[in-house]
Chains A and B, each alone.
Chain A
Amino acid sequence: MTEVLAPPAALAALYTGGPLLILAGEVAGGGGGGGALALPGLSPWRARRVVEGRFLLHRDEAGGEAGAVPLAHRPPAVLALVGPLAEALAAWWTEAGEAAPPVIPVAEPAAALPALARHLAAALAESETRRAELHRALALTRADYEETREVVGALARTLGQRPPEAPRLALATAPDPEGRRVAGGEAARLRQPLGLVAEGIAAVALHVAGAEAATARLRVRLVAAESGRILGAWAVAAPEPGWLALDLPAPIGPVRETAVLDIAAEGAVTLSLDAGTTGPEAALTGAPEATGGDRALALKVWTAPAGGRFLLPRHWLWEEAGLALPAAGVPLAIPEADWARARVLAGAFRRVGGAGRPSAVLGGSGETAALLLPPVHAGAADLVRVTLVVPFGDPAAAEAALWLLPGDAADPAGAAGLVPEPGRTAFSGWRGIAPETRGAEIALPIPLGAGSAVRIAVQIRRRGGSGDLPCVVEVTGAALMATGPG
């Protein structure tokens, strides 16, 4: 029986990608890279016969048998076996009852090209045939899908003409009579499982224990826990005490996932807790001090059959529904290309390497530079993080600040135009650069009032420091991130 070995490090490559071309035995002029067969897209390998019936498969320079492992499976994407030992190596396939790759028993690489071209042409023809089959299947599937869409649309229009169906109260808990509540605040994030399947949910209600009209702001998302999809989103400014009903435009369709509320609360707003206790799996998370780990929010949930009602809900965020919630804690970097579209509000920036990240050179004390990025859709992220380094000069001489402006904000005339607007803008305050790392990381929650898009401004200034040497501050990255509740 034929045996073929390969170094463990080569295993992944042997069974992925491809196609592979195996040069079996000495192929004149083949060289380490396969000579004339080292074509783009081809991955040439060599099979060296160690003893009769045993081959060592390797990609570059021939290694010894030491450490090599026998291959239990034949590589799946071998285009051809080329060389004087190709026939002998093909036995490895046939002995296992598998069809051997094409055998091209030539002594020179160039001599294999005509046969190889024939095989490639055949493979291409097969692939084209398969592609045509898939196109045909796709066309049929699309036709099915389009018809289904039309039917669903027609049904929705018909159903929409009917009086809205009264939703069914699927869950009702009472506010705690002893007044237990959870308070909002800067970037308070709460997560409340509803203990219900998302399918059919038509409305939810929270009980607002108290709110101050000037600052209170809530953003509520109804999330499918397993997929992270946002099924509903509402933004409520200055909620009034009492039950706050949050309707969906239509009952949720066949989403058989766990319904969870993701709540961000800003300012002076408090939400009532449930009068009853519950286990930790159903309890509110994100505010352990308030709940003691065994309380849920006071809640109401209504359900209705699909198409049972169509509404234009108050507070609804049309742009969020249907998004996938980004993985919590995973920063989503703003592409470097976006930096080219940034507007300089103050000072001078140059691009590192000509097209990369922006870098400002600060000369004398008090010198300022500021950069404004174009609006970026927050996409359910709730935090912006910017990183800076000082590659040259005294880190202690520089400081930086981060501004977040609403996506629809007009361009400020200059750095002086960066002014706080309560509830809609956020300012990090001036931050120093750590001398030991020569870097800084500034993170800032996106204010709920900013809307679905946000503009990022980075401001840098010199505050003194050693002598008159210039100080270079480089903005190394900016990213948005979902922090997740709790």
Chain B
Amino acid sequence: MEAGRTLRDTGATDCAVAVVIPAHRQPGLLPEALESVLGQRAGFGIAAVVVDDGCPFPETAATARAYARAHPGRVHLLRRANGGLAAARNSGIGFALAAFPALRAIHFLDADNRLHPEFLARALALLEGSPPGIGWVYPDIDMFGLAANWSVRGAYSRLHHLVENTCEAGSLVRRAVFDAGLRFDEAMREGFEDWDFWLAAGARGFRGRHLPNAGFRYRRRAESLLAEAERRRDSLLAGLRAKRPALFRPRALLALEAEEAPRFAIWDDAAEGGAVRLTLDPAAPGDVAAAAAARARLVEAQRAPQAEHFPPVCCFAASGALAALGRHALLHGAFWLAGVMLRGQPMVGLQFDPGAPDEIGLESGEDVPAEAPVLFLRTAALAEFAGLPAAAPVIRARLPDGVPALPAAAPRLLAEAAALGAARRARSAIAVEWRADYRRPRAAAAAESARTLLGCGPLAPLAADTPARRIAFLHPAFEFGGAERVVLNYAAVLRGRGWRTHLVLAGAARARIPPEWRGVFDGLHVVPGAERADPAARMYLGAAVAPAGAEDDLVGLLAPMDAVLNTHAFAGHAAAGRLRRLGVATFCGLHMVGRAAGGNPMGHAHSALAYEHAYDGFVVVSRSLGDWCLGQGVPAAKISVVPNAPSYAADPARVAAALAGRRARRDGGEPLRMLHLGRLDAQKGIDRLAAVIAGTAAPAFAWRVVGRGAEAAPLERAGLVVEPPVHGARELDALYAWADVVVLPSRFEGLPLVALEAQRLGCVVVATDVGAVAEAVADRADGLLVPGRAGERAVVEGFVAALRELAADRALLARLGAAAAAARAADGGWDTAMVDWIARLDALTKADDA
């Protein structure tokens, strides 16, 4: 084929580009569209395909026929029953694919729009000069009529395209896109069908590319299909998103954010050569740029924020600071928290504070930023920065094993701000683009994508490219009580199975995690203000519920997870339904059914019932708790029983030594050694314990009480020295090895870990028969149970009698202790206990992947 011809003088068989023109109710304007197609100057064949979409005006077909007769082989007419724009375009696509064997691309031209003569030549050259994955090239929009000129320049962004339609339908689309089966959705008759088409093409791996100086002319009238679509924008968008949920999943958005619109620019003094890292995930390598190159990108992004992206948050870090956060699993949490705090501040500092050996956390406060080893600030503020404020909000990263001595980050920040100012002054006054740009700034579109598309706060900055599944354990606080120790074991088992584990605190800023448990969590996160009382004091059958609408940030943080286990966080209840809709498997962890001081049922388990439908499952620590859930209307399929097991692994040598030592003592006629271990509060029946101790005095009994709590006073008045709590396995085993009997007079309980751990070392557990205690202690088989619902006096008398019986009958003591040790030795541990729940987790999260 010769170059240089126009459409008017070529044949039809070598048509490389078809221009599909749907025509409906615009017969007077159709000739303009046709003339602009016929006037194209290109070195390839072009054919116009007019699709008369059941137009009621006969002039439409007559005009198209007249053009077809005047330009045989160059203008074609299809007539169909009215089906809307999408259906008309599809008719044109089908025809072009079948009729033009040499077809390379299709352009969609509305009947009232026009093309400048070079449009298709430019467009095809760019399309075919691009990699095969570029499925379409899209123009700027030069409107006439209601004159306006809109630029859509810059790199194509799928993330941006999810937030707003950045591609005009009048684009040139590669044949491969249609060969892949993509068509317009004919059900979308009210608009945005083009947006939907681009998203579908994107989901199939195709991308767009901007065509500069395209020459696409869009007739804009005051009233049009587009104007009508804009009036119905919200409902159309809701339909668009509901139709393609996979595109709008949190992980999908994070993947796009990481690829196209990283959230953080990090000036880390530890980086080689002063390079700047642009990344979503502060632990990921990201895109590394030389300082000058990063600065140049920032300057361009500030001049044209709709066309160029630069991370909206800058981080300046002294060498070693980020590594210290990473070592303590605080890196992601700190960056996410800084992003949240920066919503109301231009700058946030981060300092390291020493904590107790088991303390770790991220607390908010105010301090002198000039000394902070890490400074976060909004990128928009960087160029204006001349000096640091005297005080600013800070994050105090509390580290359990000492604080690194680090220099301040401020000098690097100030130097960069000065360099940025110089770079801006060195920039030419010449503009890149004269058109207006209606799009959101790229950084804002990315930053707001969670709000816009998911209705939540910022997503946790976690790379989406890891195949490992993630689970978050949500707690109001984390104080290393029984529930926390259970969750630590869950986390350890799941981590061992390849999961990434995150601890999220909704109502506290620091967690107590003993050193031997450090490493169980990959991330620790704090959501300030998430856990709060419902100001409306609403009740569900007498149980408190969470305030609605205050959980946006928590949802954003948890949305990238595959699963969430909420243990006792009200904010988690409020978030569960939203998380579930976002594809997160939601579980509620229940440990006991609580009772108020008056004995009436209350507490977390009752509140959870108000949110039953929002959870995919309930994880309970005992069979009796499972039965309780069933009785409360929770479907059986949603209940996973994970019977508690000792919270730390057994040391066979210590177990054997303990059992042998106890046998030796019993032969020697020593006093019966009594131990109470646990929180000293009303639930644990400490007032009862005091009375029992009074009734079981020396020399026949020797008592030790280990714990901490508000109810210690009655014990101390009785002359007992209360020992502080211990957490280490060795220390706990030493206590159990000392004791013959462990006494647990609780008013209500779950399945107490103390009982299981004590039994493992041959202790006889004497406990009230409440909660799931009977699942650990079989009365008169491996321990003794006292009826829990008897009157207070009867309970005390029951304990005293039981203990006296054991003191008097050492054979019984030995038999029960041996049976208890044997029972626990036969238990399978946490891996076995979690089998059902893990199967359900796998089913839910794998189904999600599919």
Contact = CB atoms under 8 A, between A and B. Distances in A.
Contacts of A296: 428, 430
Contact of B431 (A195, A225, A330): A195
B81 A16 contact: no
B12 interface: yes
A98 interface: yes
A276 B76 contact: no
Interface stretch (A66-74, A81-89, A230-238, A414-422): A66-74
Interface stretch (B60-68, B689-697, B734-742, B797-805): B60-68
A279 B142 contact: no
Nearest to A19: B69
A130 interface: yes
A28 interface: no
A12 B76 contact: yes
Contact of A278 (B41, B95, B142, B427): B427
B12 A327 contact: no
A110 interface: no
A194 B432 CA distance: 8
Interface in B416-438: 426-435
B72 A331 contact: no
B79 A76 contact: yes
Interface in B223-246: none
Given A12-B47, A73-B79, A96-B81, A172 B215 contact: no
Interface in B465-493: none
A330 B3 contact: yes
B81 A97 contact: yes
Contacts of B41: 326-327, 330
Interface string B354-394: 00000000000000000000000000000000000000000
Given A16-B75, A77-B77, A228 B116 contact: yes
A296 B428 CA distance: 8
Contacts of B434: 195-197, 258-259
Nearest to A198: B434
Contact of B43 (A19, A173, A330): A330
Interface string B103-135: 000000000000011100100000000000000
Interface string A269-290: 0000011111101100000000
B1 to A, nearest CB: 12
A393 interface: no
Interface in B24-50: 41-43, 47, 49
B197 interface: no
A324 B142 contact: no
Nearest to B148: A256
A18 interface: yes
Contacts of B13: 12
- Output the residue of B81, B99, B296 with the most chain A CB within 10 A: B99
B432 A227 contact: no
A132 interface: no
Interface in A10-42: 11-13, 15-19
A79 to B, nearest CB: 11
Contacts of A98: 79
Interface in B497-556: none
Interface string B131-165: 00000000000101001010001000000000000
B749 to A, nearest CB: 69
Contact of A332 (B4, B71, B78, B427): B4
Contacts of B432: 195, 278-279, 281-282
B91 interface: yes
Contact of B79 (A12, A74, A258, A277): A74
B72 A16 contact: yes
B212 interface: yes
Nearest to B425: A276
A333 interface: yes
B94 interface: yes
A73 B91 contact: yes
Contacts of B144: 256
B845 interface: no
Contacts of B212: 281
A324 B13 CA distance: 29
A151 interface: no
A8 B98 contact: yes
A197 B4 CA distance: 29
Contact of A76 (B64, B94, B147): B64
B433 A77 contact: no
A173 B68 contact: no
Nearest to A131: B66
B45 to A, nearest CB: 11
Nearest to B116: A227
A261 B435 CA distance: 18
Nearest to B217: A226
A331 B213 contact: no
A277 B65 contact: no
A112 B747 CA distance: 106
A157 B498 CA distance: 83
B514 to A, nearest CB: 55
- Output the residue of A11, A12, A76, A279 with the most chain B CB within 10 A: A12
A193 to B, nearest CB: 8
A19 to B, nearest CB: 8
Nearest to A331: B4
B68 A18 contact: yes
A409 interface: no
A420 B99 CA distance: 55
Contacts of A254: 147
A439 B835 CA distance: 82
B77 A277 contact: no
A39 B153 CA distance: 54
A171 interface: yes
Interface in B584-637: none
Contacts of A212: none
B95 A11 contact: yes
A240 interface: no
A410 B762 CA distance: 123
B428 A278 contact: yes
B444 to A, nearest CB: 21
B214 interface: yes
A15 B429 CA distance: 54
Contacts of A367: none
B353 interface: no
A211 interface: no
B729 to A, nearest CB: 62
Contact of B68 (A17, A172, A193, A277): A17
Interface in A225-270: 225-228, 254, 256-259
B428 A12 contact: no
Nearest to A258: B213
Contact of B77 (A76, A227, A258, A279): A76
- Output the residue of A17, A194, A326, A329 with the most chain B CB within 10 A: A17
A259 B61 CA distance: 39
20 contacts: A8-B99, A11-B98, A16-B12, A16-B76, A17-B69, A18-B65, A19-B69, A76-B68, A76-B77, A76-B79, A171-B429, A172-B429, A193-B430, A195-B431, A197-B149, A277-B296, A279-B300, A281-B212, A299-B430, A330-B4
Q: Which 6 A-B pairs have the closest CB atoms?
A: A17-B72, A195-B431, A276-B428, A11-B99, A226-B215, A225-B213
Given A96-B81, A196-B431, A327-B118, 19 more contacts: A8-B101, A12-B15, A17-B73, A18-B65, A77-B65, A98-B79, A173-B428, A173-B429, A193-B430, A226-B116, A226-B213, A226-B214, A227-B215, A257-B142, A276-B429, A276-B430, A278-B432, A281-B432, A281-B433
Interface of B: 3-4, 12-13, 15, 41-43, 47, 49, 52, 61-62, 64-65, 68-69, 71-81, 91, 94-95, 98-101, 116-118, 121, 142, 144, 147, 149, 153, 212-215, 296, 300, 426-435
Interface of A: 8, 11-13, 15-19, 69, 72-74, 76-77, 96-98, 130, 171-173, 193-197, 225-228, 254, 256-259, 274-279, 281-282, 295-296, 299, 324, 326-327, 329-333, 479
